[in-house]
Amino acid sequence: MQTLRRAAVLFIVLITSHLIAATPPIPPAFGPHIHFPASELAGVPSFGATQRIVGTYFFYWYDSNTKEHVIDGDGSDALTTHPATLDDFSYRSVRWHKKQLSDMIVAGIDVVLPVFWGAPSEHGTNAQLHWSYVGIPKLVEAREQLLREGKQPPRIGLFYDTSTLQFNQSHQHIDLTTDYGQQWFYATVRDFFSMVPPRHWAMIDGKPIVLLYSAAFAKKHDQRCIDFTKQEFAREFAGRVPWIAREVSWQVRSDDTVAWGGALGLKNPGVASVGPGYDHSAVPGRTPLIADRRGGKFYEENWIKLLRRPSHFVMVETWNEFHEGTDVAESREYGRQYIDLTRKYSDLFRAGWKPPVPVGKYTGARSVAVTLGHEVRNAGLTQIDNTDGVTMPVTIGDRTARRIAPGAGHFVYFVVDDSFKSADANNFLVEADYFDSAPGELALEYDGSDERAPFSGAYTRSKDTVKLSGEQKWKTARFSLPAARFLNGQNQGADFRLVVEPQECAISAVRLTRR
Per residue in 279-304, pLDDT (tens digit) is: 999 998 888 899 999 999 999 999 99
**H helices, E strands: number in the chain:** 8, 25
Residue 1 pLDDT grade (very low, low, confident, very high; cuts 50, 70, 90): very low
At 457, the pLDDT band (50, 70, 90 cuts) reads confident
Quickly count: other Cβ atoms within 10 Å of residue 400's Cβ: 17
Query: Binning pLDDT at 50, 70 and 90, where does residue 187 land?
Result: very high
**CB 25 within 8 Å of CB 317:** no
- Read off the pLDDT band of 487 (50, 70, 90): confident
Q: Domain 367-514 - what CATH class? A: mainly beta
Q: Give the C-alpha separation, 376 to 239, whole Å.
A: 60
Q: What gap in Å lies between CA 458 and CA 269, rounded to an integer?
A: 9
Task: Give the chain's length.
Answer: 515
Is residue 5 helix, strand or coil?
A: helix
Return residue ranges of the chain for CATH 2.60.120.430.
367-514
List, in sequence order, every residue forming a beta bridge with 54; answer none if it has no partner.
Answer: 314
77 conformational bin, left if phi > 0, alpha if psi -120 to 50, beta if neither? beta
User: Cα separation of 443 and 453, whole Å?
Assistant: 15
**What does the H/E/C string look like for 220-236?**
ECCCHHHHHHHHHHHHH
Residue 33 phi/psi, 5° resolution? Answer: -90, 75
**pLDDT surpassing 50 at residue 19:** no
Instruction: Give me the CATH code for the 45-351 domain, please.
Output: 3.20.20.80
Which of 147, 160, 157 lies closest to 240 in space, CA to CA?
Answer: 157
- Count CB neighbours of 360 within 10 A: 12
pLDDT bucket at 22, cuts 50 / 70 / 90:
low
Cα–Cα distance, 325 to 77 (Å, whole number): 13
Residue 234 pLDDT > 90, yes or no?
A: yes
Over 80: is that where the pLDDT of 17 sits?
no
Could you give the residue ranges of the DSSP H alpha helices within 296-429? Answer: 297-308, 337-351
Count Cβ atoms within 10 A of the Cβ of residue 206 and give its class: 0-12 exposed, 13-18 middle, 19 or more buried: middle
Does pLDDT of 14 surpass 50?
no
Span 476-496, average pLDDT = 92
Radius of gyration of the chain (CA): 26
Q: CA 275 to CA 443: how far, in whole Å?
A: 32
Give the pairing type, strands 411-416 and 496-501: antiparallel
How far is CA 394 from its chain centroid?
Answer: 36
* Of 307, 308, 265, the residue nearest 422 (C-alpha): 308
Which of these, 123, 128, 115, lies nearest to 60 by C-alpha position? 115
User: What confidence score (pLDDT) does residue 308 get?
Assistant: 87
DSSP β-ladder status, 426-435 and 474-484:
antiparallel
- Residue 10: phi, psi to the nearest 5? -60, -40
Residue 373 pLDDT class (50, 70, 90 cuts):
very high
**Which stretches of 231-276 are assigned E, i.e. beta strand?**
243-247, 256-258, 271-274
Average pLDDT over residues 406-435: 94
Question: Looking at the DSSP assignment, which residues form a beta bridge with residue 510?
Answer: 370, 432
34-81 pLDDT per residue, tens? 999 999 999 999 999 999 999 999 999 999 999 999 999 899 999 999
pLDDT digits (tens, 9 = 90+) for 247-275: 999 999 999 999 999 999 999 889 999 99
Q: What is the largest CA-CA distance in the chain?
A: 89
Residue pair 510/430 in contact (Cβ under 8 Å)? The answer is: yes
CB contact at 8 A, 98 and 145:
yes
Q: What is the mean pLDDT of residues 92-103?
A: 98
What 3-state class would DSSP assign to 296?
helix
pLDDT at 449: 79
pLDDT for 125-143, tens place per residue? 677 789 999 999 999 999 9
Residue in 262, 253, 144, 145 with CA at minimum distance from that of residue 200: 144
d(CA 469, CA 224): 45
Give the confidence band of 484 by pLDDT, cuts at 50, 70, 90. Answer: very high
Nearest-5° Cα angle at 74, 71 to 79: 30
Tally Cβ neighbours within 10 Å of residue 424: 9
CA distance 473 to 360: 37
Does the predicted TM-score (pTM) go above 0.75?
A: yes
Do 410 and 388 meet the contact criterion of CB atoms below 8 Å apart? yes
Which pLDDT score is estimated for 11? 37
Inform me whether the pLDDT recorded for 10 exceeds 80: no
Q: 318 preceded by cis ω (within 30°)? A: yes
Nearest in space to 100 (alpha carbons), one of 117, 115, 83, 79: 83
CA separation for the pair 446, 425 (Å, rounded): 12
- Provide CATH 3.20.20.80 ranges for the chain: 45-351
Q: Rounded to 5, what percent of the chain is helix, strand, coil?
A: 30, 30, 45
Q: Which of 458, 417, 433, 443 is nearest to 502 (CA)?
A: 443
Of 449, 441, 434, 442, nearest in space to 481 by CA: 449
Q: How far apart are CA 362 and CA 152, in angstroms?
A: 46
Within 13 Å and on the Cβ side, how many CA atoms surround 132? 26
Q: 358: which DSSP letter?
A: P
C-beta atoms surrounding 315 within 10 Å: 26
State yes or no: pLDDT of 7 exceeds 90. Answer: no
